[in-house]
Structure 1
Amino acid sequence: MPILSVRTLGSLAVVRDDVPVVLPASRKVRALLAYLALAPHPVGRGRLCEMLWDVPNDPRGELRWCLSKLRGVLDTPDRRRVLTQGDTVALDLDDCPVDALEMSHAATQGIETLELEPLRTLAGLFAGAFLDGLELDRSPLFDSWLIAQRRRLGACHAAVLEQLVERLPADGDEAIGHLDKWVELAPFDGRAHAALLASMARRGEIGAAERHLATAQQLFQSEDLDFAPLRAAWRTIRDQAPAVSLRVPPVSALSQPLAPSGDAGAVEPSHASLAVMPFVEEAGGTRGGLADGFTHDIITRLAKLRDFFVIARGSVFALAQMNIAPDEAGRKLNVDYVATGTVRSPAGRLIVSVELIEVRTARIVWAETFERRPDDIFAVLDDIGDSIVSSISAEIETVERNRAMLKAPNSLNAWEAYHRGLWHMYRFTQAENEQARNLFATAVELDPTFARAHAGLSFTHWQAAFQRWGDRDRESALAFESAGQSVLVDDHNPAAHWAMGRALWLRGEQDGSLSELERAVDLSPNFALGHYALSFVHSQSGDPQAAISSSDHSRHLSPFDPLLFGMLGARAMSHVRLGQFEEAAEWALKAAARPNAHAIILAIAAHCLALAGRLDEAHGFAAAIRKTMPDYRADDFIGTFRFEPDAEALFRQGARRIGLN
């Protein structure tokens, strides 16, 4: 067992061999201990002096005195834990549990992935607010750090309580106790209130629930938040009582943001939501000019993707003007994700840093810094904006996909069924494709207006036709039908026109296919799959140079895309048509090296390597294909695509060299 531990969740305490250590009375010593315990790296003495003293007579001397007091608390004859090297200070607590660090580690790993007992242990760590009662006078930097840590760890606590409420027996005292604490901790979280109302209804406490609803309404109105979703949730709970469940939020409307009441327009339920807070000019922490324009551009681009709900510019700027921190704004808006950023313009450079935070767990799911030379400021901003928007979309899709995989299949809503379908779809096997199809069908049954679910269903039929997993004509017709439904539901959704463009390609209608795919990227220039599909069509019988350009752009927008093998393979086929066989072989090898590359990608590699004269490597791929498809021939390869005659002749030449003719 560890002989030393540091407790920060509640009143600060140090425990040695299960006995509390008497801490110095000085608040500065205690604050220094807490700050160093959580610091990931050694901290400069100047930073510590600036953090803890406003205008001391001898800051370095006072810091030395505080460190001497810390040594009395932490050091033992055989172990020095207060380390000073040069101008830096650090604590050696590698073998000492620090409750706030344990909580942070759990949040980084994903609170929703934890088993029940670890969740109980985490909940037990919270004896109160972080460093309860340890505010300092005239130390604004420390107070700012303290408030930020309390917000972050409070959000983690709420996430732990929510998981416990969902997993524990609904009628048990333990679940009810966690539920009461969740509502106390997150008073503006509609899900917490709905779960509490459901719990009361199950116990027949309708009058108490009505009184709680009235109190909650006053609370929401005091913050200018829309109370209508919670009121609607209560009506549903009351109508269903006593059959309501504590585990599942009673109304899908609770997934929509509780936006300030001045916002117009209803928000469709059951989709992930995002708020992009105004980016800040790092020099002086100001907003305006370049930062505000950049924020507006990113909000607009994300909204055009139509992947999820994006809070309108007016709402996020209004909250920012109230000096509300991004994570607090996320909770007020009841969104799933918040993106924040800073902009710096040192001499000759533009540096943009971005973070994407999952609000319920306070977990940073993605962070990146982009640095460019602003030779053409508009082109640079466009390039950085492309990268930010595509990365945010991909990261949210990954998180939602992984979360959906953890839920029981019979408890999925349309959004979750769609993302679970994506997980199976990207495995690119016949069995997984069938599972994906069933999940997309479930999603459109639950929500017939869900355009991307229709597009996903079209993709599975397209894949079945392309891979010859079923009757090609029938699957092509079904792909076209589902794509048509997607366009009918939402003509402004780029995924709908992407699905239609691919379906038309299956039908041999190249002009119509290109028109639909160009419509997709016109609607959303950041839609990576639209650019990839254009590359795919052009690589066979269109403009090979345009195919290479579209392939490169799709990879720039989505460098870790599940369809990356296709982006690389399309470029390889384009080089074949240009007579650049060695380049074709190199790109084909990159495509085949992707972990989810299927047999058709291996066939592209075999043919390109053969044309480049690299016959041993080509024979290796041909042998790999024939392990699962013994009768595979050039006709199968040619029949999969729609090559123009010259390109077909080249690929048949390659097939003859390795015995696939």
Structure 2
Amino acid sequence: MRLPASRKVRALFGWLALAPRPVARETLCDLLWDAPSDPRGELRWCLSKIRGLVDAPGRRRLLSEDDRVWLDLSDGFVDAVEVARSAEPGLEGLAPERRRALAQLFAGDFLEGLALSGHPAYAAWLTAQRRRFGGLQLRLLADLVCDAADEDERLRHLERWLQVAPLDRDAHERLLETLARLGRIREGEAQLAAAARLLDAEGLDSSPLRATWQAARAASIDLPQAPPMASEPRALGAPDTNDEPGPDLAAHRASIAVMPFVDGSPEPEARGGLADALAHDVITRLAKLRSLFVIAPGTVFALHERAIPPERAGRMLEVDYVVGGTVRRGDARLLVAVELADTRTGRIVWAETFSHRADDALLVLDAIGDRIVASIASEIEALERDRAILKPPDSLNAWEAHHRGLWHMYRFNKADNERARHFFETALRLDPSFARAHAGLSFTHFQDAFQGWSEREPGIELAYASANDSLMADDRDPAAHWAMGRALWLRGRHEPAIGELEQAVELSPNFALAHYTLAFIHSQDGDPAAAIAASDHSRHLSPFDPLLFGMLGARAMALVRLGRFDEAARWAVKAAARPNAHPHIQAIAAFALALAGSLDEARAQAESIRRALPAYRFADFLAAFQFDAQGAALFRKGARRIGMG
């Protein structure tokens, strides 16, 4: 059909075609009109043009009701909607024929030619959609290369892949390997020279391409293969033929690239403004965690300058995860939208929008940076744990064995604690210098002593020894100081324990477990007000943490010591309701409820404890914790009220 000449009408048509639900007219006015004299009048004119395109006698497709507008295209076909719907459950589950059909729907950029200057909200949406569909196209092409029935078909898909992503080293390497298999050596040499010139011109390393070509050419004529260059990373998706764990630290850390944020404000700042400052801040804070291999800012800002979208940059850098987002200032508020994508699958695994008053930009950026870093770290740890449990135990490397151990460790029962210890020990056999595996091993010994699953004194000494090994391996890792803080607390050395935990926070201000453990110690014989503050901060940093029951329980214990029994009972009940809460946490709830006068609820909690541990008594509770005299007396009083004293 002949479309209206107005680019704004075409842009609005595209936006409505993808809108999942009816949209308020005011939203559309804000999207495409920069305070004209009559935005609603201009919107009506644009909608009338769209109505002339899509409506037919007896069939209205542009609909409106209660100031909302939407397109009903249920009897039509929208290529982008079809691709998005098919990709929703995962492209890997599609048949090759279906993938080929979807790949044919792509022709140029999403809404090509419809970028509009002076409309930041629309620009941010368009950028996000182009990133989304560009990533889907690359994943489809990569899958089609693997699905190809013959080498000629594989070459066609690779050539299209390089048209879409000319700087993608993975595509170049696969093309070189294919040409070598076909014996087309002269074409391969020319392809290598052209690709090397292209990458070198962009400041990217072309030496891995030369190594790939050397190996592929040698294999094609049955010559001895030169050893791979040890300093170069493996091509994305290529098999790892090295069975021995290497010395590279990145081998047991997930890798991540944080791309500069896009400034979507009505009047964007010059480079170096809030959007760039936030990206720099997030990169620096993530690097402090030492559990992630973080690409340096110089590289990601260089790629950003070349207008390379985050997902493509992640593939070029061969990282596991990539972060992208937008910053928008307006109406005295600062809005930051962030996405975390898994480059191995192309899926968005976490997304969040943060909104703050922009009265003090630096303080707001600090608060948002805290939340972004803590959320990313927590999401990646959970993803790596889930990925590790899918692998058979004998195929795990040190990083995967460590995360398999974490999965069992956070189950908080004796059997899983022993399994966790097995996997941490496996990780340490593969890499004795892995500080976090030593810290995890220390935690399992801590659990044995704290929960009474083994003799207390040997457990305390083993927890301390493993924590010390963690510090010896890397004294800049906050997890090592966290492990030592817990071990010192077990030994009754509270002040040194607090010092270690404060060192962990200094190394990584966003390390939620260090804040929680400070709350745990202060809630028993330290400053209860400090315990409440630390508990709240740990939950703010990691609201879905596996140790959330402990964060809530620490707050409840501090409130008991302050004599605020009703509040303590409410928080303790929340702690006990967590799915992995252990009997000591349920005991906090039982005793706090008894102190608050809720005896029936307290007895119900006590009965729940007895079903799990029939012999559990107040003496077990008191032996696990280290309350001051006042706190011990208060909890004993609660226990006596329900016959557990």
TM-score range, shorter chain: 0.7 to 0.9
1:645–1:145 CA distance, 2 compared to 1 (3 A): closer
The one-character-per-residue Cα deviations of 1:493-541 (angstroms, maximum 9, x if unpaired) are 1111111111222233323211211110111122111010111112222
- SS for the counterpart of 1:460 is helix
Give CA-to-partner distance per residue, 1:1-36, whole Å, 9 cap, x none.
xxxxxxxxxxxxxxxxxxxxxx44778798765443
SS in 2 for 1:530: helix
Give the Cα–Cα distance (whole angstroms) in 1 for the partners of residues 452 and 178 of structure 2: 52
Contact in 2 for aligned 1:279/1:294 (Cα 8 Å):
no
**Cα distance 1:139–1:537, how it changes in 2: closer, same or farther (>3 A)?**
closer
Deviates more, 1:636-645 or 1:402-411: 402-411
Specify the alignment match of 2:340 in structure 1. 357
Change (3 A) 1:340 1:147: closer
In 1: Cα distance, 2:207 partner to 2:445 partner: 40
* Native 8 Å contact 1:278 1:317 kept in 2: no
1:121 maps to 2:104: no
Counting only pairs closer than 5 Å after superposition, residues 387-426 of structure 1 correspond to structure 2 as 387-407=371-391, 409-426=393-410
**For 1:340, which of 309, 318, 325 is the aligned residue?**
325
Q: Structure 1: give runs of 5+ residues left out of the alignment.
A: 1-22, 52-57, 243-249, 257-265
Q: Secondary structure at the match of 1:121?
A: helix
Instruction: Report the Cα distance in structure 1 between the residues aligned to 2:534 and 2:29, rounded to whole angstroms.
Output: 51
Task: Indicate which of 562, 565, 568 corresponds to 1:578.
Answer: 562
Match of 2:258 in 1: 275
Q: Distance in 1 between matches of 2:455 and 2:158?
A: 53
CA distance in 2 between counterparts of 1:525 and 1:457 reads 23
CA distance in 2, matches of 1:586, 1:144: 43
User: In the TM superposition, what is the alpha-carbon distance from 1:43 to its structure 2 partner?
Assistant: 7.7
Alignment of 1:393-542 (within 5 A): 393-407=377-391, 409-542=393-526
2:600 is the counterpart of 1:616: yes
Deviates more, 1:594-603 or 1:450-459: 450-459
> Are 2:633 and 1:653 equivalent residues in the alignment?
no
Matches within 5 A, 1:257-268: 268=250
1:47-72 CA-to-partner distances (Å, cap 9, x unmatched) read: 89879xxxxxx99767634531322x
Q: State the alpha-carbon separation in 1 of the partners of residues 442 and 219 from structure 2.
A: 36
Q: Is the 8 A contact 1:108 1:364 kept in 2?
A: no
2:19 corresponds to 1:39: yes
CA contact 1:233–1:253 (8 Å) conserved in 2: no
Q: Which moved more, 1:332-341 or 1:211-220?
A: 211-220
Code of the residue aligned with 2:497 in structure 1: it is S
Taking structure 1 as reference, are residues 42 and 633 closer, same or farther at Cα in structure 2, changes over 3 Å only?
closer
Offset at residue 117 of structure 1 (A): 3.3
CA shift in 2, pair 1:175/1:548, >3 Å: farther
Assess if the C-alpha contact under 8 Å between 1:569 and 1:591 holds in 2: yes
Shift of 1:139: 6.4
* Separation in structure 2 between the aligned mates of residue 381 and residue 143 of structure 1, nearest angstrom: 23
| Paired residues of 2:168 and 2:312 also in contact (CA < 8 A) | no
Stretch moving more, 196-205 or 517-526 = 196-205
Give aligned-pair identity as a percent. Answer: 50
Match of 2:227 in 1: none
Q: Check the 8 A contact 2:258/2:282 in 1, yes or no.
A: no
Q: Which ranges of structure 2 fall in alignment gaps of 5 or more residues? A: 35-41, 223-229, 237-247
1:223 corresponds, among 202, 212, 221, to: 202
1:80 to 60, 78, 98: 60
Residues 479 and 503 of structure 1 are in contact (CA less than 8 Å); yes or no, is this contact kept in structure 2?
yes
The size of the alignment, in residue pairs, is 606
Local SS of the residue matching 1:627 = helix
Distance 1:147 1:652, change over 3 A: closer
* Deviation digits for residues 80-129 of structure 1 (CA, Å, limit 9, x no counterpart): 223255887531134656442243356566x3xx6633676345311053
Q: Deviations over 1:582-611 (max 9, x none)?
A: 332222112112222122211111122222
Distance in 1 (alpha carbons) for counterparts of 2:464 and 2:212:
38
Q: Structure 1 CA distance, aligned partners of 2:31 and 2:368? A: 35
Structure 2 Cα separation of the partners of residues 59 and 352 of structure 1: 26
Q: Give the 5 Å matches for 1:62-77.
A: 64-71=48-55, 75=56, 77=58
2:258 is paired with a residue whose SS is: strand
1: CA distance, partners of 2:180 / 2:456: 53
Per-residue deviation, residues 201-258 of structure 1 (Å, max 9, x unmatched): 899999987876655434422321134556667788899999xxxxxxx9993489xx
> Partner of 1:155 in structure 2?
135
Q: Secondary structure at the match of 1:282?
A: coil
Q: Kindly tell me: are residues 555 and 234 of structure 1, through their superposed partners in 2, closer, same or farther at Cα, counting changes over 3 Å?
A: farther
Question: Which residue pairs with 2:81 in the alignment?
Answer: 101
The one of 282, 292, 295 equivalent to 1:311 is 295
The aligned amino acid for 1:223 is E
Task: Tell me the SS of whatever aligns to 1:268.
Answer: helix
Give me the whole-angstrom Cα distance separating, in 2, the residues matched to 1:467 and 1:173: 63
CA contact (8 A) 2:259 2:324 kept: yes
Query: In the alignment, which residue of structure 1 is the partner of 2:621?
Result: 637
Structure 1 residues 377-396: aligned runs within 5 Å: 378-396=362-380
Pair 222,116 (structure 1): closer, same or farther in 2 beyond 3 Å: same
My pick for the range that moved more, 429-438 or 99-108, is 99-108
Could you tell me how far 1:314 is from its partner in structure 2?
2.9
Map 1:317-332 → 2, pairs under 5 A: 317-332=301-316
CA 1:98–1:400: 2 relative to 1, 3 Å? farther
Residue type of the partner of 1:528?
A
Task: Report 1:538-617 matches (<5 A).
Answer: 538-617=522-601
Mean Cα displacement is larger for which, 170-179 or 93-102?
Answer: 170-179
SS in 2 for 1:253: coil
CA–CA distance in structure 1, aligned partners of residues 169 and 399 of structure 2: 19
The CA deviation string for residues 410-460 of structure 1, in whole angstroms up to 9 with x for no partner, is 544443443343333322233333333333334344444433233223223
Q: What are the superposed Cα offsets for residues 554-588 of structure 1, whole Å, 9 maximum, x if unpaired?
A: 12222222211101111111222233333322221
Superposition map of 1:178-197 within 5 A? 185-191=164-170
Distance 1:502 1:253, change over 3 A: farther
Give the equivalent residue in structure 2 for 1:14. none
Q: What residue identity is the alignment partner of 1:339?
A: G
Considering only aligned residues, what root-mean-square deviation do their CA atoms show, in Å?
4.2
Q: 2:79 touches 2:105 (CA, 8 Å); kept in 1?
A: no
2:324 counterpart letter in structure 1: A
**Secondary structure of residue in 2 paired with 1:437:** helix
Q: Deviations over 1:354-393 (max 9, x none)?
A: 212316316362121222262x555444333322322232
Specify whether residues 271 and 26 from structure 1 end up closer, same or farther in structure 2 by C-alpha distance, changes over 3 A only. same
How far did residue 275 of structure 1 move?
Answer: 1.3
CA–CA distance in 2 between the matches of 1:479 and 1:297? 34
Is 2:284 aligned against 1:284? no
Determine helix, strand or coil for the equivalent of 2:267. Answer: helix
